[in-house]
């Protein structure tokens, strides 16, 4: 018997087809409410979402046959785990599927903002060759601070240390005993030490605005901020103010609080690089993420152990 799967995230046609081939009847909608308005008589047993979209208490309540929620990617901060647990609904996510892609993008953003690549390109296209030939900081040997040394943070650290001989430090809730990197006791201490501060934490309430005005001031006028995690980790008005007054040198952001809406004050700044939450969107990463979703769905409905079940309380590095 085919199970009904509601997809709330953007997926290519071939991935819809893969889920159908795996034995699921696929329904796509922008939200649970939109789907119920169209197909109220169909009971779905599974939902595919992600950490940013999530699945709320009300949405879970609106799906009486729901058995499993799969988060596409590592994050699951906006899935109501308490509501799911109360119903006996299992939740899975996708750690390890897009780590390399996100780490690649983090280093790309770091190099691009340090060397002013988009700004220089735009200047040359405007015919401002001489005006754009301003000195820009090197990356080699500079201090790399990582806020959140999980799977992605570790890959960023390794790329920086091996490729650019960067000293690496990090901040987590607790020090790791399996890494040679320096531990800083707070985000402020990490920012004071770092030339480049890369945010690689999960999202959610426990990390909301932990990069605030104090952290940005500690990073200083020669420091750069790179965020490939969640926009909610950064106090956006504080960041805009710091950039406007050159209290930090620049920022490169793949995620923005309230995305896809971007504050116009941020868009107007020339010391910012913005990409549309694409760090994990390589073909290789997407294929691996979708395959893990399929594997978890099949395991659940065959009453086999899940591969990557979420355990409540584990979403903060």
Q: Radius of gyration (Cα) for the chain, nearest Å? A: 21
Options 3, 93, 105, 230, the catalytic residue: 230
Write out the H or E segment, with its range, that includes residue 158: helix 151-164
Q: Which tokens go with 70? A: 């799969």
Closest CA to 188 of 214, 154, 164, 161: 214
Give catalytic status of residue 182 as yes or no. Answer: no
DSSP secondary structure code for residue 231 in this structure: G
Give catalytic status of residue 230 as yes or no. Answer: yes
Question: Could you tell me where the DSSP H helices lie in 53-115?
Answer: 57-61, 81-87, 99-115
Q: How far is CA 172 from CA 19, 176, 306, 308, in A?
A: 36, 8, 27, 22
Contact assessment for residue 66 and residue 47, using Cβ atoms and an 8 Å cutoff: yes
3-class DSSP assignment, residue 120: helix
As a whole number of angstroms, the distance between CA 226 and CA 236 comes to 13
Closest CA to 252 of 117, 125, 50: 117
Question: Could you tell me where the DSSP H helices lie in 220-263?
Answer: 236-244
* Residue tagged 């979703």 (tokens): 293
Options 27, 36, 209, 277, the catalytic residue: 277
Q: Which tokens go with 113? A: 């903002």
Options 67, 192, 259, 265, the catalytic residue: 259
3-class DSSP assignment, residue 135: coil
Task: Judge residue 96's burial from the number of C-beta atoms within 10 Å of its C-beta, 0-12 exposed, 13-18 middle, 19 or more buried.
Answer: middle
Q: Which residues are catalytic?
A: 230, 259, 277
């Amino acid at each position: 018997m085919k199970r009904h799967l509601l997809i709330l995230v953007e997926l290519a046609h071939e991935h819809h087809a893969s889920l159908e081939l795996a034995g699921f009847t696929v329904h796509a909608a922008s939200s649970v409410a939109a789907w119920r308005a169209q197909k109220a008589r169909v009971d779905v047993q599974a939902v595919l979402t992600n950490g940013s979209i999530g699945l709320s208490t009300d949405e879970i309540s609106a799906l009486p046959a729901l058995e499993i929620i799969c988060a596409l990617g590592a994050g699951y901060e906006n899935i109501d785990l308490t509501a799911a647990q109360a119903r006996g609904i299992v939740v899975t996510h996708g750690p390890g599927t897009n780590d390399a892609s996100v780490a690649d993008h983090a280093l790309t953003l770091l190099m691009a903002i340090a060397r002013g690549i988009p700004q220089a390109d735009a200047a040359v296209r405007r015919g401002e060759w001489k005006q754009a030939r301003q000195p820009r900081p090197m990356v080699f040997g500079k201090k790399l601070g990582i806020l959140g040394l999980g799977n992605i943070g570790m890959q960023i650290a390794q790329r920086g240390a091996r490729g650019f001989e960067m000293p690496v430090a990090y901040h987590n809730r607790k020090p790791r005993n399996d890494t040679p990197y320096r531990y800083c006791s707070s985000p402020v201490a990490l920012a004071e030490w770092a030339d480049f501060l890369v945010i690689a934490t999960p999202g959610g309430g426990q990390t909301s605005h932990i990069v605030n005005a104090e952290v940005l001031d500690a990073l200083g006028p020669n420091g750069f901020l790179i965020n490939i995690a969640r926009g909610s980790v950064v106090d956006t008005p504080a960041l805009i103010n710091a950039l406007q007054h050159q209290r930090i040198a620049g920022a490169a952001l793949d995620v923005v609080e309230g995305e896809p809406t971007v504050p116009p004050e941020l868009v107007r700044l020339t010391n910012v690089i913005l990409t549309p939450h694409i760090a994990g969107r390589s073909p290789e990463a997407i294929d691996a993420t979708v395959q893990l979703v399929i594997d978890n769905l099949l395991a659940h409905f065959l009453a086999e152990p899940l591969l990557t079940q979420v355990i409540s309380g584990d979403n903060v590095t």
